[in-house]
Each structure stands twice: as C-alpha cells, then as structure tokens.
Chain A
Amino acid sequence: MSDSKKFVLGIFDDEDVLLKAVGKIRGAGVKIHEVYSPFPVHGLDEELGYKRSRLPIAAFMFGALGTTLALVMQIWMLGVDWPMIIGGKNHVALPDFVPVTFELTVLLAAFGMVGTFLVSSDLKPWKDPKLLDIRITDDKHVMAIDLGTNRAVEVASINALLKDSGAVEVNNKDVDE
C-alpha cells in the first residue's frame, strides 16, 4: 500500500527570518516536521526544541574504550606475554605507554563518534535523500509542515502563518512513502 504524506513547505531565504518564524509557528501550535538548510543555522535546533545531541557521550565512551584497549594491549604484550628488559626499565614502564595510549584514545573516540553520527543520522552512500526542494543544498531554507500531524489546524491558516512570518514561497508537496 502506498501512503502519501502531504507537506506544506515554507521557503525562506534569510536565516534570521527563519529563526523568528520557527518560534512564531511553534507558538501557534503547529508542529514542524523538519527544517532543511544549506548551512548550519545557529540556534535553530533550540528553536525547534531539539534536545542537545548525546554524541559527546558516545565520543567519551569510545575514547575510554580506546584508553583501556591500548593499556591492556601494551601491558599484556610487554609485561605478560613476552617480558623484556628494554633500557633497564621495568617490563611495564607506564610513562612510555602514554603516547600510544593517547593516540588510540583519540583514534577510537573520533571514529566511534563519527560512526555513531552516520548511523544515527542515517547517512550512507546508497541513500536517496528525497529532497523536498532542490534548492535546499543551494541557498534556501525549507520548513516542512506535515499535514498528517496537524489535522487540528486548517491548511489555509498554516499557509497564512508561513506567509506572515516571512516565507518567500509557500508550496504543497506530496511525498510517497
């Protein structure tokens, strides 16, 4: 069964107008599906009520994993599996293990976090992004309002609200699910 979602798209060409519009439209009780932008707009996530990303936590966890793996590897290899006296130092000469531990911490933190980001944002080479408007990656900000989740509000008033808050165009778009 092919469902189709109906969207109203408000097209904005100024990030400051867009920011105010988001506050105004959400204030009027309209749920915004998502806003698409060609560049990061600071404060937009707060206006949309998005929670702060938990990716830093992921980075910390992967980093801690890197530290642990690096220390376990070095201590096991040089301290347990094949102990050798190198330069008259202890088998487990911890200060010497600092550089490799640091590098592996950074490596795992960075790769772990970026990997988590790609998975959580569903970014992959074979994905078709199905843009609602081709100008999103050029110079227009597009506010998408899903009519399905806004049945209580009339379409005409959503259109008027978008126009009032500074949208340069208001379009309708059906998307096949």
Chain B
Amino acid sequence: MQVTSSVRKPLITGGKTVHDVTEDICKQVEGKPSKLWLMAFGISVVTLLIGLVAVVATVWEGIGMWGLNKTVGWAWDITNFVWWVGIGHAGTLISAVLLLFRQKWRMAINRASEAMTIFAVICAAQFPILHMGRPWLGAYWALPLPNTFGSLWVNFNSPLLWDVFAISTYFSVSLVFWYLGLVPDFATIRDRADGIRKKIYGALSLGWDGAAKTWSRYESVSLILAGLATPLVLSVHTIVSFDFATSVIPGWHTTIFPPYFVAGAIFSGFAMVLTLMLVTRAVFKLQDYITIEHIELMNIVIIVTGSIVGIAYITEFFIAWYSGVPAEQYAFYNRMQGPYWWAYWSMMTCNVISPQLFWFKKIRTSIAATFILSIIVNIGMWFERFVIIVTSLHRDFLPSSWAMFYPTIYDAGVYLFTFGLFFTCFFLFAKFFPVINMAEVKSIVKSSSEKTAA
C-alpha cells in the first residue's frame, strides 16, 4: 500500500492523473518548437560560433593567445574547468544521493540536472584539452597508451592524471545513469509517435516493454548505480582539489581542500540547476511538476552547502594565521588586501553572505529572488576558483617574479565558447528529450499528488 503523509506537501499539484503526466511531458517533445525556443537556441548557436573563433585561434597559434605568463601559468582555463566540473556535480548528486535517501522530490528535477551534469562536464573537458596546446597528441600524455618512447608510461603519481580518470569515469557513468533513466520514457514517446520518429525513439528505447521482470532488474540496477555514483561524485571534486592540495604553493597546500571543494561543487551545481529549472519550468509550463516546494528544498541545500563553504573560507584563513608560516599568512593577506582584493570580496559577498538570505522563507519561496541569487552564487563560485588559482600564483616566493594576470579576448572567447556549447546542448535536450522523468513521476502520482493529499 502507498502511504500518504499528512505533513509532507504534495510534489505534484493540479490534480494530475498518470495519463496527464504522459500528455504534459510528451507535448513538449511532439509539438513544433516555439518561437521562444528557436530564439534561445539561435542565440546559443551564435555564441558557440563566436567562441569557436577563439578556440580555433588557440589551437592554430598556441596557448600564447591567452594572458598567461611565466608566473601565472594557470588562470582562466583551470578556473573555468573547475567551475564547470563543480556545476556538473548537482545532477548525479540529485539522482544518486537523493535516491539512496529516498527523497521523492528528486524525481521532477533529476532528468534535467543529469543532462546539465553531462553538458557541464563536456564544457569542463574543453579547458585541459585546449591547454595541452597540441590536443591531437593529448591521448599520449593523458592515457596509458603504448608509445614509441619506450613505452614511457603516464605518471600515476600525478593528481592531473587522476583527474583524467576521475572526470572520464564520472562522465561515462553519469551518461549511462541518465540514459538508463530515459529508456522507459523513450518507449512512451515511441508508442505515441509514427513514421521516422517512431523508428528513432524506438531504437533509443531499446525495445522496452515495461515487463515486471525488467522493471525489477531495472530498479536494482538503478540502486547499485546510485550506490556507485555517490562515492564517485565525492571522489571527482576531491581529486580536482588534489590538483592544488598536493602542490607546495601557499594557499593551495591545505588538507581542507577536498571537503571544501565538494561542498562548493554541490553549492554551485544546485545554483545552476535552479537557474535552468526556473527557465525550463516557465517555458514549458511545468509549474505543476516543479513546484515552489521543490524550489524551496533546493534553496535549503544551497543554505547548507553555502554555509559549509563559508566555514571553510574562515577555517582556511584561521589556519593560515595559526600555522605561523609567513608564506602561508602572506598568501591570505594578499588575497584580501592585495591587487586582487575585489575578486576576494566578490567571492565572499556572493558565496557567504548572499545564500544566507535564504533563511527567510519569503526569499526562498520567491521565484525572482531565487533566480537572481542562483546566478549570484555561480558568479561567486567562479571568483572562488579565480581567487584560489590566480592570487596564490601571482606573488610567489621571489618578489622579482611577481606579476599580474590580464585575460586576453581569447581567454574570454574560449569561456564564451563553453557557454554556447552548454546552452546549445541543453536546449536540444529540452526540445527532443522528455525533460521530466515520466516513469518516476507517475509512480508517485498516487501518493504525492495534490488530489490525494487533500
């Protein structure tokens, strides 16, 4: 028997039936693209093409097109890489961790957040690949392939190599998890379509027939995948933080990095999910599925992770002072008072102060406020990575080599390219794939719909 809770708010409003779920979600896939969608997609493609100029220039001319110098050898590229990977954490966290915790509110948002994860990781991957300078040789530097230098193998002691394995595993496991979730929904679309659409969605649905035996196996596969993906999510940003933490640069060499990076990743990931969901919800009229309740719950996750990030900043600062190491102390003093003070204080304002506004119920249930704050959080998280990376590098042990980093138009162009790529992929997904997991939402229609809860 389904148990209906009297304290929980309904997760689906508007008295939807199971058939309504099919209709509401399939309508988006089956209808002609709206003007709004065409416009948004058009802008994304144009952004992608403009950015592509910078990408081609970088590959053709070399990394010298960027603003890097001898002192600051890592700047926007790795900042953007970590930022995108961080955003890519929310999807699998929502679908895997919340599945293990049996949080049913994940069902309305897991599909789109997983899609976001996959596209964000693709965007992240552009930066290390482009930073190789000669990406066509990259496979030999990044993967243990037999080669004619010995074979001289890759260095398994290096966190940069761990990153290659972590990110590619994360990407492929997330992709499989996402696709598996799509299979029953593709079957639903297949059975409503005809002609070429039926063929395409039929192939995508792998001949799904909804047999109880298959569902039973499917559920056990989902559970195990969630169990595998949970430590995987945590491992990915832990390993990303090792890129810095295993070095000996003041400001990087700290043991707090792994948990601090993971919390920051979830924080920025949820913010990006909110930004996208609020738009998707409005464009596709999904207010009955992605309710204010969902938005409020996500905002609570943002308060929690935002506060963890805030505490991490303060701890890091305290330990720098308490360590008594002058280089470490100077690195933090320089962050606050040095030439990049504005980046440090933008980070502090956006990440530590702004999410605290969500303590007010009025603000965390307001769509406009949530939308603005979700963007502010992502700006803050970008500055966090910029501060950690650039301010730790630009004033190193020898004052004669101190320098500033100034981005060129190509730095900005490559970043723009990833935005274009991300939104092009996301809009294609939103049009041709079911944006809400129909099969899962149908399973809670009886227990969590407004009609029965009343």
Asked if B216 contacts A39 (CB within 8 A), the reply is: no
Q: A64 near B: Cβ within 8 Å?
A: no
Asked if A107 contacts B153 (CB within 8 A), the reply is: no
Alpha-carbon gap, A107 to B162, bound state (A):
14
CB neighbours of B187 from chain A (8 A): 129, 137
CB distance from B428 to the nearest CB of A (A): 20
Given A93-B157, A103-B169, A109-B228, are A50 and B203 neighbors across the interface (CB < 8 Å)? no
Q: B361 near A: Cβ within 8 Å?
A: no
Q: B142 near A: Cβ within 8 Å?
A: no
Q: List residues 173-213 of chain B with CB under 8 A from any CB of chain A.
A: 173, 176-177, 180, 183-184, 187-188, 190-192, 202-213
Could you say which of B14-22, B27-35, B398-406 contacts chain A?
Answer: B14-22
Among residues of A, the one whose C-beta sits closest to the C-beta of B209 is A129
Alpha-carbon gap, A45 to B218, bound state (A):
12
Q: A114 near B: Cβ within 8 Å?
A: yes
Q: How many A-B residue pairs have CB under 8 A?
A: 199
Alpha-carbon gap, A81 to B147, bound state (A):
13
Could you say which of B342-350, B352-360, B377-385, B439-447 contacts chain A?
Answer: B439-447
Alpha-carbon gap, A82 to B2, bound state (A):
61
Asked if B218 contacts A40 (CB within 8 A), the reply is: yes
Asked if B18 contacts A38 (CB within 8 A), the reply is: yes
Chain B contact residue count (CB 8 A cutoff): 69
Asked if A138 contacts B151 (CB within 8 A), the reply is: no
Could you say which of B75-83, B231-239, B364-372 contacts chain A?
Answer: B231-239
Alpha-carbon gap, A131 to B215, bound state (A):
15
CB distance from A160 to the nearest CB of B (A): 23
Q: List residues 66-103 of chain A with CB under 8 A from any CB of chain B.
A: 73-74, 77-78, 81-82, 86-87, 89, 93, 96-97, 99-100, 102-103
Alpha-carbon gap, A38 to B213, bound state (A):
13
CB neighbours of B172 from chain A (8 A): 107, 110-111
* Residue in A39, A110, A111, A129 whose CB lies within 8 Å of B208: A129
Asked if A82 contacts B151 (CB within 8 A), the reply is: yes
* Residue in A15, A82, A89, A111 whose CB lies within 8 Å of B176: A111
CB distance from B240 to the nearest CB of A (A): 11
Asked if B235 contacts A139 (CB within 8 A), the reply is: no
Given A44-B215, A77-B156, are A39 and B207 neighbors across the interface (CB < 8 Å)? no
Interface on A for B, CB 8 Å cutoff? 13-16, 34-41, 44-45, 48, 50, 52-53, 55-56, 59, 63, 73-74, 77-78, 81-82, 86-87, 89, 93, 96-97, 99-100, 102-104, 106-107, 109-111, 113-114, 117-118, 120-131, 134, 136-139
24 cross-chain CB contacts under 8 A: A35-B211, A37-B215, A38-B442, A39-B442, A53-B217, A53-B220, A56-B220, A77-B144, A77-B154, A82-B153, A86-B157, A97-B156, A99-B235, A102-B235, A106-B173, A110-B172, A110-B173, A114-B176, A117-B217, A121-B217, A123-B207, A125-B207, A128-B202, A131-B210
